[in-house]
Structure 1
Amino acid sequence: MISLYSLARLSDLPAATWDALVPAGQPFLRHAFLSAMEDSGSVAPATGWAAEHLVLERDGQVRALLPAYRKWHSFGEYVFDHGWAEACERAGIAYYPKLLGGVPFSPVSGPRLLTADPADGLLVLQALPEYLGKGGLSGAHINFTDSVLDQAIDGLPGWLERLGCQFHWRNRGYRDFQDFLDTLSSRKRKQMRKEREQVLGHGIDFQWYRGDQLSEQQWDFVYLCYANTYTVRRRAPYLTREFFSLLAERMPEAIRVVVARQSGRDVAMALSLIGGDSLFGRYWGCLDEFDRLHFETCFYQGMDFAIAEGLQRFDAGAQGEHKLIRGFEPVITRSWHYLLHPGLRRAVEEFLGQEREGILAYAEEARGMLPYRRD
């Protein structure tokens, strides 16, 4: 017997049951990470995110999971559909609520359908259109998918593929940062050295910590830095202070925080997660402004760390060109969208066809701007 139902709280499912279907090297999909989002109030109906995780059971056993949220806005997703929502508002079409399959505030590609059997995952996808209609949802949006889901969903009727472009750094067996610099053109090599020297000239040094090595007072500093990145833009931070404590309590081994210090005073930080062979840079912030400090804290320190730890990939976040000139290479990302309104679906399909050409051209142009030597 097969049943599909939703969870309004991740804590209603045992962590062992959930994590049994999470592939290795996926910290953002772990019960610990997603439940910390919910239990801290960062993800809640009051913030426009209502957990609606889909669970497929077969003969009383959980066989497939889709981390998902009922949403009343499009913030914190990093696949931007605000234009679609505005067009719907002008046309008198209800765009919200919608169903988002993804990880809140985390533009990291990876599995979205968690299952040991692709056939069970396919059953979830096939059941989604009826589920949306019964639930009063305008559509489903599954963001930052992996190749397994891409293959499963491609060709299913009604689903539209959307491309994006990010920039990731690859560790090609570098012995140290100088070994990496030696692969660059002379001009770019000098530029990066100068940037690092500028930070050193401010008397700033760096210390790395695991999640269990930080005191609550230090976590206060981490949160203050994180929140300040929103304060300076007159916006409220997505995450609450409690999220960081819960994360440190539930998955400390995956957390890495680098703290920038000047004359014994902490002035900036960057928080990353480790999963498999990858380092994922997530949150950064500073209390004082120093020239080039952002690049050193968020990029060069992470590259140094990846080399020292033998990690193969460094995903430092969603934005682009400032990473490109520092050796981060373009990577195509994918998301999938199912829209119930036929007119909206046709309009979005036409838009995505045009956008796709632009994204692919942009990624190809970006490859020509990489700083590596061409000898």
Structure 2
Amino acid sequence: MDGQEYDSDTVIEVRAHDSLTQIDARDWDACACAEATDGGAPNDPFTTHRFLLALEQSGSVGPGTGWQPRYLTAHAEDQMIAAAPLYAKSHSQGEYIFDFNWAHAYEGAGGRYYPKLQIAVPFTPASGRRLLTKPGFETTGQSALVQGAVQIAEHHGLSSLHLTFCTAEEVAPGKAMGLMHRASQQFHWHNDGYDSFDDFLGSLSSRKRKNIRKERQTAQAFGGDIISLTGDDIQPEHWDYFWEFYQDTGSRKWGTPYLTRAFFDHLHDTMRDDVLLVLAVRDGVPVAGALNFIGRQSLYGRYWGCTEHHPCLHFELCYYQAIDAAIERGLARVEAGAQGEHKLARGYLPTQTHSLHWFADPSFARAIKQYLDAEAEAVEEEIEILTSYGPFRRDTYEDQE
């Protein structure tokens, strides 16, 4: 029956695990990234066994972090058919789908919002499948995972379950299973079949085109070289420099960086082929860097930092170098992370993202549903308005419609 949905009489067993070491990497990845069995990149590098294990073994998640692993797997007839990166959360940090107001309202009404359950990739606002199913078992696997997570929440008296940055394709089945949909937005760059960066610039208005060229010239005159590294070209010492960059940015944004130094060593050992590291090097020493992950169709910009501040270098390393890399690799888009309307002028357009939510308290769930309906209309309107202010020539917009 491999590759086919099971009938209603088949028993599906859902198991929770407190460590990925309890789950065979081949079984997990058969659900998370079956498309990569041909040796290519996974659609979503962040749900691979190796990425999630790097978070766990580096101590970036686990005791003391507020992200306690409770990975779910679903099994039928001696095979694993589905999996989900589930965590018990004692706070709402590192999620990028903000529910602080929900927590405040819930606790103001006398409830206990934390701990809650979260199906997500920690510290990673990148869209991808969250209900990971072996091909052919989508319906059975998704249902088993959601039911299993809700049962865990109910059994332990937890307030809620959240699936953040799921795919658009997961929204309809999620809603059919009683989850509520939340719409949000990010800025993504879309590859319209460009042959080069200049080809991309040709799609922009004259003023925006000139501004980007000026920014690139300014950045590249910082006094050194900009290099892009992946695979074995990345050396262990590069992570020493990048750790300095990450600490600088993390301390300013979050107070305490989410990731540990050991996480980057795990990246080097198990994922350097999935990484594109862009460095600005002056006098032989990296002074700024941007870390990207390479997916099958997307380049994911994740972290940036510097030890020297140079005009426009952030734009060059994070946005323009990413566009160059995506065009060179034939990737469909660049996802540049959460927030940042400054990305709009640089060719990154607002794109809807999705999450799914469940609350144990029916009254609170009804209030949240009303809020989400109103928020969805506002997000749709905001995307429309922001897109109209984008940098593209008017005839380019017409071609994209």
Same fold (TM over 0.5): yes
The answer to whether the 8 A contact 1:212-1:248 is kept is: no
Distance in 1 separating the partners of 2:252 and 2:111? 35
Aligned partner of 1:165 in structure 2 is 185
Misfit runs of 4+, over 6 Å: none
Aligned partner of 1:137 in structure 2 is 158
The answer to whether the 8 A contact 2:236-2:268 is kept is: no
Q: Which amino acid counterpart does residue 87 of structure 1 have in structure 2?
A: A
* Alignment partner of 1:347 out of 346, 367, 392: 367
TM-score by length of 2: 0.90
Q: Which amino acid counterpart does residue 301 of structure 1 have in structure 2?
A: Q
Percent identical among aligned pairs is 42
Does 2:55 correspond to 1:45? Answer: no
Per the alignment, in what secondary structure is the counterpart of residue 133 of structure 1? helix
* Alignment partner of 2:245 out of 185, 203, 225: 225
* Alignment partner of 2:113 out of 88, 95, 108: 95
Q: Which amino acid counterpart does residue 264 of structure 2 have in structure 1?
A: F
Q: In the TM superposition, what are the counterparts of 1:105-120 in structure 2 within 5 Å?
A: 105-116=123-134, 117-118=137-138, 119-120=140-141
Q: In the TM superposition, what are the counterparts of 1:329-344 in structure 2 within 5 Å?
A: 329-344=349-364
Distance in 1 separating the partners of 2:292 and 2:151? 38
Deviation at 1:233, TM superposition (A): 4.6
Aligned partner of 2:18 in structure 1 is 8
* Alignment partner of 1:362 out of 382, 386, 395: 382
Aligned partner of 1:289 in structure 2 is 309
153 and 231 in structure 1: CA distance in 2 versus 1, 3 angstrom threshold:
closer
Distance in 2 separating the partners of 1:178 and 1:6? 50
Per the alignment, in what secondary structure is the counterpart of residue 334 of structure 2? strand
135 and 108 in structure 1: CA distance in 2 versus 1, 3 angstrom threshold:
same
The answer to whether the 8 A contact 2:234-2:272 is kept is: no
The answer to whether the 8 A contact 2:143-2:177 is kept is: no
Deviation at 1:325, TM superposition (A): 1.1
Does 2:282 correspond to 1:262? Answer: yes
58 and 185 in structure 1: CA distance in 2 versus 1, 3 angstrom threshold:
same
Deviation at 1:148, TM superposition (A): 3.0
Aligned partner of 1:27 in structure 2 is 45
Gaps of 5+ in 2: 1-10, 36-42, 396-401
Deviation at 1:297, TM superposition (A): 0.7
Q: State the aligned residue count.
A: 374
CA RMSD of aligned residues (A): 1.4
Per the alignment, in what secondary structure is the counterpart of residue 26 of structure 2? helix
Deviation at 1:234, TM superposition (A): 6.9
Aligned partner of 1:371 in structure 2 is 391
Distance in 1 separating the partners of 2:251 and 2:169? 39
Per the alignment, in what secondary structure is the counterpart of residue 45 of structure 1? coil
Q: Which amino acid counterpart does residue 140 of structure 1 have in structure 2?
A: L
Distance in 2 separating the partners of 1:28 and 1:234? 21
Distance in 2 separating the partners of 1:103 and 1:115? 16
TM-score by length of 1: 0.96
The answer to whether the 8 A contact 2:181-2:355 is kept is: yes
Distance in 2 separating the partners of 1:176 and 1:2? 50
Distance in 1 separating the partners of 2:21 and 2:70? 12
Greater shift after overlay, 363-372 or 126-135? 126-135
Distance in 1 separating the partners of 2:70 and 2:147? 17
The answer to whether the 8 A contact 1:211-1:257 is kept is: no
* Alignment partner of 1:189 out of 168, 193, 209: 209
Deviation at 1:166, TM superposition (A): 0.8
